[in-house]
Amino acid sequence: MTSVDVAKKAGVSQTTVSLVFSGKAGGRISAATVEAVRAAAAELGYRPNAAARALRSGTASAVGLVVRDVTHPFFGRTLRGAQKAASEAGHVVVLIDDNYGRGDAAVEALRDGAIDGFLYFAAVPSEAMRAPGAPPVVMVESVEEGLPFVRLDSEGGADAAMRHLVELGHTRIGSLRLEAGDLHGGQTFDLRHAAWAEHLRAIGADPAAQAVGTTAFDADSTIAAARAMLDVPVAERPTAILADDDLLAAGVVAACHQLGLRVPQDVAVVGFDDLELARLMSPPLTTVAFDAEALGAAAFETLLAKLQGRRPRDRVLESRLIVRGSTVAE
């Protein structure tokens, strides 16, 4: 089946079919016509020839999403959002594991024609990726000079979490952080940590006197770091812990169970991201929720603006605190 067949089936011109599948229909073709073309293509089993289209247009209609660690579920949700937005524009998204800064070879292999642009999710683009003639780059969850970005309101989320803990009467609030450079690259977590410290100072507590742990992104390290924060005399033990991530928060809860501490009666716990895990924990986890799919979609839309010669707009997506049993006993 060819685009000519689709055009006949939908009752439109071949040019209209080309515009729909090239992602250039917006503002030029009605939504009803776009739907008719896609329905005709689906019925006929038509798929655009990506290689031929790339040769004609000089573009691949593919973008790369570069992440620090493909095993983290938040990245998967972000990818899904980017894919949905890309599909509507006639593009696909390729997932690339940066492997904590060691994945440049994969990026370099794809940049020479196979990928139109890149979304860097808190990974850092090499100098080659910023050179003239390199594919356009949009930063996700970090900010680099001269590059458009889309990020989450981490400081606002941390503010809400700390206000909640302070309102509950907590003054010894610990912080469990990812080691520098792990997972998201640090900028997001630095904003959260700054909000944590600011709220402590506001209630007359010295941030330097609080329990602070650092951990790699794995279960054993996280539980060990949490135990080191909690396995101390009662007068020194934090009554609440703000964790950089829901998976870290789960490690805190696990450490509490191992030490015979009750959550939230002895230790309240707050995470970030609102992963599915948060609702499955016992007790369910209070967390700062981010819309990962909206983040992915916004990142792709920002990159698409660059690809289409429009000026991209930096965006900060809102967060919200979801209160569950890890801070307020049910």
Instruction: Give the per-residue pLDDT at 108.
Output: 60
- Which whole number is the average pLDDT over 63-67? 89
Determine the length of the chain: 330
Asked if 138 contacts 149 with a C-beta cutoff of 8 angstroms, the reply is yes
**Which has more pLDDT, 121 or 284?**
284
Q: Is the pLDDT of residue 322 over 50?
A: yes
Per-residue pLDDT tens over the stretch 220-252: 999 999 999 999 999 999 999 999 999 999 999
| Whole-prediction pTM | 0.78
Question: How wide is the angle at C-alpha 61 spanned by C-alphas 56 and 65, nearest 5°?
Answer: 150
Pair 262, 230: CB distance under 8 Å:
no
Of the listed ranges 73-82, 91-100, 148-157, 280-289, the least confidently predicted one is 91-100
Confidence of residue 67 (pLDDT cuts 50, 70, 90): confident
**What would you report as the CA-atom Rg of the chain, rounded to the nearest whole angstrom?**
23
As a whole number of angstroms, the distance between CA 134 and CA 120 comes to: 14
Query: What pLDDT score does 184 carry?
Result: 47
- Pairwise pLDDT comparison (116 vs 25), residue with the higher score: 116
Q: Which amino acid is at 64?
A: G
Class of 154-290 in CATH: alpha beta
Domains of the chain, residue spans: 3-48, 61-152+292-318, 154-290
Contacts of 248 (CB under 8 A, 6+ apart): 176, 178, 215, 222, 271
Task: Transcribe 216-246 into DSSP letters.
Answer: -SSHHHHHHHHHHHHSS-GGGS-SEEEESSH
Q: Which residue intervals of the chain are DSSP H helices?
A: 3-10, 14-21, 31-44, 50-57, 73-88, 104-111, 154-167, 187-202, 219-230, 246-259, 276-280, 292-307
Residue 75 has pLDDT above 50, yes or no: yes
Q: What is the pLDDT of residue 56?
A: 47
Q: Which region among 8-22, 40-54, 143-157, 243-257 has the lowest average model confidence (pLDDT)?
A: 40-54
- Give the position of tokens 């439109």: 12
- The lowest-confidence range among 97-111, 144-158, 163-177, 256-270 is 97-111
Percent of the chain whose pLDDT exceeds 70: 87
**Sheet order of strands, 240-243 included:** 212-215, 173-178, 240-243, 268-273, 286-289, 320-322
Average pLDDT over residues 99-111: 58
Sheet holding 315-317, edge to edge: 92-97, 62-67, 117-121, 137-140, 149-152, 315-317
State the SS3 of 282-317: CCCCEEEECCHHHHHHHHHHHHHHHHCCCCCCCEEE
For position 222, what pLDDT does the model report?
96
Query: pLDDT at residue 57 above 50?
Result: no
61-152+292-318 CATH fold = Rossmann fold (3.40.50)
pLDDT of amino acid 180: 62
Q: How many other CB atoms are there within 10 angstroms of residue 310's CB atom?
A: 10
Residues 114-155 have pLDDT tens digits of 788 899 987 778 787 777 778 899 999 988 888 999 999 999
**pLDDT band at residue 54 under the 50/70/90 scheme:** very low
| 115 touches 60 (CB < 8 A) | yes
CATH number of the domain located at residue range(s) 3-48 in this protein: 1.10.260.40
Same fold, 61-152+292-318 and 154-290: yes
273 by DSSP, 3-state: which?
strand
